[in-house]
Amino acid sequence: MTSDCVIAVDVGGTSVKAAVVDERGAAIAPVSVPTPRGAERVADEIAALVDELADAAHARELTPVALGVVTPGLVDEDEGTVLLAGNLGWQDVPMRALVEKRSTLPVAFGHDVRAGGLAEAVLGAGRGAGDHLFVAIGTGVAGAVMLGGTAYGGGGYAGELGHIVVEPDGHACACGGRGCLEAVASARAIARRYAERAGEPVAAAEVAARAVAGDGHAVAVWDAAVAGLVEALAAYLCVLAPETIVVGGGLATAGEQLLGPLRARLSERLTIQRVPRVVPAELGERAGCLGAGLLAWRTAGREVRP
């Protein structure tokens, strides 16, 4: 007897991750390939991955019933378009239509961080958390506003936590503003600010390690990142008062080195606001792809039961 499954694809700035996702939300036969340049070529690559994964599914007596695709940037899920994705060089790309043209499966289309937030809510650290915030701190900083079991999209513009100004007149941000959280606390910003002070280019993970070892420049850069996060999260807490904040993305692998000071300084900073639980994400790099799978299951009219 065969069971149904979906195919999930997470398009990132450097790689495209894809997998078969079964009805319990498990990823099967995951693959990762470099992201081609240009939306048409990305859509071609997605079609090739879907063929490959459909074969992998059939070999396990699974039948794909839907396809979920997520991308970064300003994503309008309702229109199926990527309004802007800086690291892909895309503007006003009708991504859902490009994928549908190449697929016989019904297509769900979404935003990588909102999908990651959904995956953490259903399968990871957000389980049972009710309304909460998922924040991904990686090359950039973005959030998923989780309300009523779904990620609020705001026509593609919601969740841009990375562009809350935390240092007025601070560093220039890729968005055209100054002093945004993303220009202070993203992995890219941490690496750049350390290089400016110490004259040595190292990755954010190395800055974190040097901060632990007591390197003064690293401590200052790391502290500024935590302070920026506290400011941005405090603003969010004033408006939406989530009980839980799930912290994911590459920088969250620093674990308690990030979350410990974040919790301590957040509770010092807050006055009348509800103090949230701050917990690490559980799904890591797989969150976006699993979220694409959950969106596909919803398109097929089914909910995943882990």
* Least separation in angstroms between CB 164 and Zn ion: 8
Site for Zn ion in 57-96 (CB under 5 A): none
Query: DSSP labels for 98-162?
Result: HHHTT-SS-EEEEEHHHHHHHHHHHHSTTTT--SEEEEEESSSEEEEEEETTEEE-GGGTTT-GG
User: Which one of the spans 48-56, 114-122, 171-179, 266-274 is the region binding Zn ion (CB under 5 A)?
Assistant: 171-179
- Rounded-to-integer distance, Cα 160 and Cα 58, Å: 39
175 binds Zn ion (CB under 5 A): yes
Separation CA 190–CA 140 (nearest Å): 11
Nearer residue to Zn ion within complex by CB, 163 or 286? 163
173 binds Zn ion (CB under 5 A): yes
Q: Residue 210, interface with Zn ion (CB under 5 A)?
A: no
Q: Which residue, 135, 162, 137, 158, is CA-closest to 245?
A: 135
**Of residues 239-298, those binding Zn ion (CB under 5 A):** none
In angstroms and rounded to an integer, the radius of gyration of the C-alpha atoms of the chain is 19
Q: CA-to-CA distance for 220 and 119, rounded, in angstroms? A: 34
User: Which of positions 127-166 make contact with Zn ion (CB under 5 A)?
Assistant: 163
> By C-beta, is 175 or 195 nearer to Zn ion?
175
- Nearest residue (CB) to Zn ion, 27 versus 164: 164
We find the least distance from the C-beta atom of residue 234 to Zn ion, in angstroms, to be 18
Nearer of residues 49 and 185 to Zn ion, judged by Cβ: 185
The interface region with Zn ion, picked from 41-49, 56-64, 170-178, 275-283 by CB under 5 A, is 170-178
* Cβ atoms 180, 197 nearer than 8 A: no
The 4-43 contact track toward Zn ion, x by CB under 5 A, reads ----------------------------------------
Nearer to Zn ion among residue 249 and residue 291 (C-beta): 249
Binder of Zn ion out of 137, 180, 226, 230 (CB under 5 A): 180
The count of residues interacting with Zn ion (CB under 5 A) is: 5
Least Cβ distance, residue 186 to Zn ion (angstroms)? 10
Question: Minimum distance from CB of 92 to Zn ion (Å)?
Answer: 20
Nearest approach, Cβ of residue 179 and Zn ion (Å): 8
Count of C-beta atoms within a 10 Å radius of residue 170: 18
Residue 95: CB minimum distance to Zn ion, A: 23
Report the half-sphere exposure of 29 (CA within 13 A, side-chain side).
20
Nearby residues of 294 by Cβ (< 8 Å), 6 or more positions away: 21, 25, 68, 115, 118, 119, 122, 123, 304
Query: DSSP states of 55-78 as a string?
Result: HHHHHTTEEEEEEEEEESSEEETT
Point out which residues bind Zn ion (CB under 5 A).
163, 173, 175, 177, 180
